[in-house]
A and B are shown apart, each in its own frame.
Chain A
Amino acid sequence: MAAISARNLSFKYAGAESPSMENVSISIEKGEFVILTGPSGCGKTTLCRCLNGLIPNFYSGELTGDLEVDGVNVSGKTTAELASHVGFVFQNPENQLFSLSVERDVGFGLENMGVPREEAIERIQWAMRATGIFNLREKAPYELSGGQQQRAAIAGILAMRPSILVLDEPTSFLDPKSAEEIIAVIAKLSHDIRLTTLLVEHRLDIVSRYANRVIVMDRGKVELNGTPSEVYNDRARLIGVGLPRVTMLFHLLRTAGFDVANPINVEQASDDLRRLLTK
């Protein structure tokens, strides 16, 4: 049974002229780490919002098609009901933290869900350790750096024990080093607890190494769906996806007539280039 299963999913925001998402059909297995990318306005955020019920409950419009997450049909379910299945981390860490201490914030979702106190405390401890912020538990959110804030937000969602984690451009406001650190944390978690992860990102150079699969959307439709190596091709380039620089290099070499592989990160590129130069 797939963790996420969408069939012909379409959505048009109320008052919009055309649909933001058309006939999207995708299937994501449990434990997969999937990147969702595409140019601005391609529908990636729209798709994510369907997964946890923000569409159609928070954002009204016409939603058609089928969507099942964690075996549950989302139709008719509120975001609160889906929250125990699908966790959502947003772009701006500042607007996701509610309390005056990290520890209390991580427990916020559990309080809302009515989780018994003993169990809640246990989950909070676990979530904070898993994201590496246990030593920051007494601090106020505004005292933390952007990267630490995002970790706190992730901890708060993790504590709710969703089986699917959706992150919408979580590194937007972070500097490169913090971005790499937080993606590494997410990838490790995803692997350790078999958390199905859907990560919306532009910064493919950072995330490619962890991805099982990449889905590229353009103008509301799914255009590409496969392993990074399969997807980082000319079509992706033309759609406007920001391929990792090393992948671009090999594309240029291919255009210059060389028969080369399609590396997606620096390690692969180093091996491939070495092979080429020492042939």
Chain B
Amino acid sequence: MISVENVTFHYPDGPDVLQDTNLEIRDGEFVAIMGENGAGKTTLVKMFNGLLKPDKGTITVDGIDTRKKSVAQLSRDVGLIFQNPDNQLFAETVAQELAFSLRNFGFAEDVIERRVTSIINTLDLERYEKSSPFVLSGGERKRVALAAILVWDPKHVIMDEPTIGQDYLQKDRLRNFIMQLVSQGKTIVIVTHDVEFVAECKPRVVLLSHGKVIGDGSATTILTNSALVEQASLVLPQISTLMKNLADLGAPSDIIDAYSAKDFVVARMREKVESRARSLKS
């Protein structure tokens, strides 16, 4: 469990980026942390693996205060995937890139080989195993960066803006992969401002604005709240706006994705047909 208690933080010479923030993420939960650029989202998740330590308050990961462990120790359980893969790729081959963290953590060579092969297969990177990470395309590099963290199988996985620069197909694939990880029982935290992506995965949503948590609930509760969404510089999912426009016709206010909307329309149309048939009979 990751627990944030009364945390306040500011960068040197800067204003408070996080103010008396409180948050609790249970094991195996799937959470999206959303908010405008500069709201404190990335700052907050950097505290989960100890890169940043709070000025006031405590961050506890699995029962231990993050101040008591080093970044390397915390990273064993908390894998943080940064936004830009070019900030970490450096090895001669993809395989070596993936082995890097395992070597740092002191795994045995045979275990390293096994794990690297395993993650390469899981993420469809077989044909790039011996390639240099630098000749791969943007999307492929992002996959390698993802593999580089998952290779040591951390219990909690945090992704910082995983959808930026991805096209629709890549996002689709990513979404499926995240749901797979969730079903494996991992805690998944994504920092994002991609409202439609979140509307389709439906995680728990925590809204940050100016360093404070202004909303915390299910995706359907938060992403349909116009006031909160506006405050966090986000937009309502298109389907949500559509449903609100048709509220007078009884469109439910808790539908945020196309599939659920279709189900509603189909059900409503069937009702209409049935009621018409009934009234014809009588």
Chain A contact residues, CB within 8 Å of chain B: 38-41, 145-146, 169, 172-178, 180, 202, 205, 240-242, 244-246, 248-249, 252-253, 256, 258, 266, 269-270, 273-274, 276-278
* Structural contact, A246 and B242, CB atoms closer than 8 A: yes
- A270 to B194 alpha-carbon distance, docked (Å): 23
Residues on A with C-beta less than 8 A from B234 are 175-177
Given the interface pairs A245-B237, A274-B249, the reply to whether A175 lies near B262 with Cβ below 8 Å is no
CB distance from B165 to the nearest CB of A (A): 6
* Structural contact, B262 and A252, CB atoms closer than 8 A: yes
CB distance from A199 to the nearest CB of B (A): 15
Given the interface pairs A40-B138, A240-B167, A266-B241, the reply to whether A276 lies near B265 with Cβ below 8 Å is yes
Task: State which of B166, B193, B265 has its C-beta within 8 Å of the C-beta of A176.
Answer: B193
Residues on B with C-beta less than 8 A from A274 are 245-246, 249
Q: Which residue of B lies closest to A270 (CB)?
A: B245
Greatest chain A CB density within 10 A among B38, B138, B242 is at B242
Given the interface pairs A177-B234, A253-B265, A277-B268, the reply to whether A248 lies near B258 with Cβ below 8 Å is yes
Q: What are 20 A-B pairs with beta-carbon distances under 8 A?
A: A39-B167, A40-B139, A40-B170, A175-B36, A175-B37, A175-B193, A176-B233, A205-B196, A242-B167, A249-B239, A249-B265, A256-B266, A258-B265, A266-B241, A266-B245, A269-B238, A270-B246, A277-B246, A277-B265, A277-B269
Beta-carbon contacts of B165-207 to A below 8 Å, as 1s and 0s?
A: 1111111000000000000000000000111100100000000
Given the interface pairs A145-B37, A173-B164, A245-B238, the reply to whether A258 lies near B261 with Cβ below 8 Å is no
Residues on B with C-beta less than 8 A from A146 are 37
Given the interface pairs A249-B261, A269-B242, A277-B249, the reply to whether A41 lies near B137 with Cβ below 8 Å is yes
- A175 to B165 alpha-carbon distance, docked (Å): 13
Q: Is B257 an interface residue (CB 8 A)?
A: yes
Interchain pairs with CB closer than 8 A, number: 101
Q: Which residue of B lies closest to A237 (CB)?
A: B168
* Structural contact, B242 and A39, CB atoms closer than 8 A: no
Given the interface pairs A41-B137, A172-B164, A172-B165, the reply to whether A177 lies near B258 with Cβ below 8 Å is no
CB distance from A258 to the nearest CB of B (A): 7
Q: Which residue of B lies closest to A40 (CB)?
A: B167
Q: Is B235 an interface residue (CB 8 A)?
A: yes
Residues on A with C-beta less than 8 A from B194 are 176
- A240 to B249 alpha-carbon distance, docked (Å): 33
Chain B contact residues, CB within 8 Å of chain A: 36-38, 137-139, 164-171, 193-196, 199, 233-235, 237-239, 241-242, 245-246, 249, 257-259, 261-262, 265-266, 268-269, 272
CB distance from A75 to the nearest CB of B (A): 29
Q: Which residue of B lies closest to A177 (CB)?
A: B233
Q: Which residue of A lies closest to B259 (CB)?
A: A252
- A41 to B141 alpha-carbon distance, docked (Å): 14
* Structural contact, B233 and A178, CB atoms closer than 8 A: yes
- A169 to B242 alpha-carbon distance, docked (Å): 26
Given the interface pairs A253-B265, A258-B269, the reply to whether A202 lies near B168 with Cβ below 8 Å is yes
Residues on B with C-beta less than 8 A from A242 are 167-168, 171
* Structural contact, B242 and A278, CB atoms closer than 8 A: no
* Structural contact, A246 and B168, CB atoms closer than 8 A: no
* Structural contact, B36 and A177, CB atoms closer than 8 A: yes
- A202 to B258 alpha-carbon distance, docked (Å): 18
- A278 to B246 alpha-carbon distance, docked (Å): 11
Task: State which of B166, B168, B233 has its C-beta within 8 Å of the C-beta of A175.
Answer: B233
Residues on B with C-beta less than 8 A from A205 are 196, 238
- A202 to B241 alpha-carbon distance, docked (Å): 20
CB distance from B251 to the nearest CB of A (A): 8
- A241 to B195 alpha-carbon distance, docked (Å): 17
- A256 to B264 alpha-carbon distance, docked (Å): 12
Residues on A with C-beta less than 8 A from B239 are 245-246, 249
Given the interface pairs A244-B238, A273-B265, A277-B246, the reply to whether A252 lies near B169 with Cβ below 8 Å is no
Residues on B with C-beta less than 8 A from A173 are 164
* Structural contact, A249 and B37, CB atoms closer than 8 A: no
Residues on A with C-beta less than 8 A from B199 are 245
CB distance from A217 to the nearest CB of B (A): 12
- A266 to B238 alpha-carbon distance, docked (Å): 6
* Structural contact, B257 and A202, CB atoms closer than 8 A: no
